Amino acid sequence: MKPDDGVSLSKETWRLFRILSEFVDGIEVLSDIGPAVTVFGSSRTPVDDPVYEKAVQCGRELVKKDFAVITGGGPGVMEAANKGAMEAGGRSVGLNISLPREQKPNSYQTHELDFRYFFVRKVMFVKYAVGFIIFPGGYGTMDEFFESLTLIQTLKIDPFPVVCVGHDFWDGLVKWMREVMLERYGNLDQDDMTLFRVTDDESEAIEIIRKCHEENCYLGPRPPKLDDAAGQRTAEGTRVGIGPKHGGGPTSGRHAEF
φ, ψ for residue 165, nearest 5 deg: -105, 120
Same domain? For 94 and 54 the reply is: yes
Whether residue 257 is contained in a domain is answered as: yes
What would the mean pLDDT of 92-121 be, rounded to a whole number? 94
3-state secondary structure of 68: strand
Same domain? For 149 and 30 the reply is: yes
Q: What would the DSSP string read from start to end of 103-149?
A: -PPPS--SEEEEES-HHHHHHHHHHTEEEEEE-S-SHHHHHHHHHHH
Whether residue 90 is contained in a domain is answered as: yes
Percent of the chain with pLDDT over 70: 91
The answer on pLDDT for 236 being more than 90 is no
CA atoms of 53 and 50, how far apart (whole Å)? 5
pLDDT band at residue 41, thresholds of 50, 70 and 90? very high
Q: What's the pLDDT score for residue 226?
A: 76
Q: What is the DSSP letter of 182?
A: I
Same domain? For 237 and 146 the reply is: no
Same domain? For 54 and 172 the reply is: yes
φ, ψ for residue 132, nearest 5 deg: -115, 135
pLDDT band at residue 254, thresholds of 50, 70 and 90? very low
The residue ranking higher by pLDDT, 197 or 237, is 197
Q: What's the pLDDT score for residue 250?
A: 56
Whether residue 4 is contained in a domain is answered as: no
Same domain? For 244 and 218 the reply is: no
Same domain? For 219 and 144 the reply is: yes
Same domain? For 122 and 83 the reply is: yes
Q: Which amino acid is at 248?
A: G
Whether residue 249 is contained in a domain is answered as: yes
Same domain? For 153 and 57 the reply is: yes
Same domain? For 216 and 238 the reply is: no
The residue ranking higher by pLDDT, 65 or 220, is 65
Whether residue 206 is contained in a domain is answered as: yes
CATH of the domain at 17: 3.40.50.450
Same domain? For 24 and 47 the reply is: yes
3-state secondary structure of 81: helix
pLDDT band at residue 12, thresholds of 50, 70 and 90? confident
Instruction: Specify the length of the chain in residues.
Output: 258
Environment class of 77 (CB within 10 Å of its CB; exposed 0-12, middle 13-18, buried 19+): buried
Q: What is the DSSP letter of 236?
A: T
Same domain? For 62 and 41 the reply is: yes
Q: What's the pLDDT score for residue 248?
A: 55
Whether residue 6 is contained in a domain is answered as: no
Whether residue 199 is contained in a domain is answered as: yes
Residues of the domain holding 247: 225-258
Domains contained in the chain, number: 2
Of 142-151, 205-214, 224-233, the least confident? 224-233
What would the mean pLDDT of 83-102 be, rounded to a whole number? 95
Q: What is the distance of C-alpha 71 from the center of its chain?
A: 9
Whether residue 152 is contained in a domain is answered as: yes
**150 Cβ contact partners less than 8 Å away, ≥ 6 residues apart:** 156
pLDDT band at residue 61, thresholds of 50, 70 and 90? very high
Environment class of 112 (CB within 10 Å of its CB; exposed 0-12, middle 13-18, buried 19+): middle
3-state secondary structure of 57: helix
Same domain? For 138 and 252 the reply is: no
CA atoms of 159 and 25, how far apart (whole Å)? 26
pTM of the model: 0.89
Closest CA to 139 of 42, 59, 225: 42
What pLDDT, in 10s, does the model give residues 150-198? 999 999 999 999 999 999 999 999 999 999 999 999 999 999 999 999 9
Handedness of CA 66, 71, 76, 79 (dihedral sign): positive
The answer on pLDDT for 86 being more than 90 is yes
Q: What's the pLDDT score for residue 169?
A: 98
